[in-house]
Amino acid sequence: MSALLDVEAIEVSYGAAQALFGVSLAVGEGEAVALMGRNGMGKTTTIRTICRLMRHHGGHVRFAGQDIGAQAPFRVARMGIGLVPEGRRCFGPLTVRENLVAAARPGEWTLDRVHKLFPRLHERHGQAAATLSGGEQQMLAIGRALMTNPRLLVLDEATEGLAPVVRQEIWAAISALKATGLSILVVDKSLKELKGFADRCVVLEKGESVWQGAPGDLTDEIATRYLGV
Ligand code: ATP
């Protein structure tokens, strides 16, 4: 059976500067995959390419068996890729509720279900998104992605800039999502949390996927060599 997401040897450039030189990764149905690598190794570029916010000039991106290389971002969102972007990017002047409703597509995820996952969003439903704390904005960004009823949830820097206690809340929520069988691709700085969460890890080095395996096989030597820890 083919994977839900299949990224094969993609090459991506910013103008004349090539950033990705062959990144391959797959996410199966119900699988949680961690995308790892030091700063500037190509994680965000890979995610933006999967979501069609960047174009690749080599390789393939397939989702649910279709080549999505020529699709517009809104189309892949409709096909079922839900992005939680780096920096959250909630619509600041809109209320929490408006941010969620604006993203809604028919499916199991409704406002009620998002409120159950993040009661804080329910409490603050009438508040402008710009006035939320960082943690609440991340909950909103995740809730907004869920409202699209994705088959694959993609999180770029899942807990960046958040206090430790809030990070734990976010990891608990993402773990609960994984337990429902949702497929997840996640980038984060915390190796410990990623290893505890992911079924598989993919490591990028200078725009190439250089190592893939189970978290248990990610040795200290690999972590030192590629992740600088
Ligand atoms: P970080 O953890 O710092 O976000 P990353 O692994 O997500 O890093 P990318 O942001 O994908 O890495 O960057 C990959 C490469 O592409 C880097 O060499 C970076 O300098 C380059 N790059 C990223 N964005 C741009 C841009 N807008 N214009 C030109 N080069 C860019």
Average pLDDT, the chain: 94
Starting from the edge strand earliest in sequence, which strands make up the sheet with 32-36, in order? 66-67, 58-63, 5-14, 17-27, 208-213, 200-205, 32-36, 183-186, 152-155, 81-84
CB of 41 within 6 A of ligand 1: the answer is yes
Q: Tell me: pLDDT of 1 over 60.
A: no
pLDDT value, residue 167: 94
Task: Determine phi and psi for 20, rounding to 5 degrees.
Answer: -115, 130
Q: Where do we find the tokens 């809340």?
A: 169
Distance 39 CA to ligand 1 centre (A): 8
CB of 14 within 6 A of ligand 1: the answer is yes
pLDDT value, residue 91: 80
- Residues 136-190: tens digit of each pLDDT: 999 999 999 999 999 999 999 989 889 999 999 999 999 999 999 999 999 999 9
ipTM of the complex as predicted: 0.92
Asked whether the CA dihedral 143, 148, 151, 157 is positive or negative, the reply is negative
pLDDT value, residue 59: 97
Q: What confidence tier does 90 reach under pLDDT thresholds 50, 70, 90?
A: confident
CB of 85 within 6 A of ligand 1: the answer is no
The distance of Cα 29 from the centroid of its chain, to the nearest Å, equals 15
CB of 45 within 6 A of ligand 1: the answer is yes
CB 23 within 8 A of CB 204: yes
What gap in Å lies between CA 40 and CA 62, rounded to an integer?
24
The arithmetic mean of pLDDT across residues 18-38, rounded, is 96
Q: Where are the alpha helices (DSSP H) in the chain?
A: 43-50, 73-79, 96-103, 111-117, 119-123, 134-147, 164-179, 191-197, 220-222
CB of 43 within 6 A of ligand 1: the answer is yes
Q: Tell me: pLDDT of 191 over 60.
A: yes
- Residues 7-23: tens digit of each pLDDT: 999 999 999 999 999 99
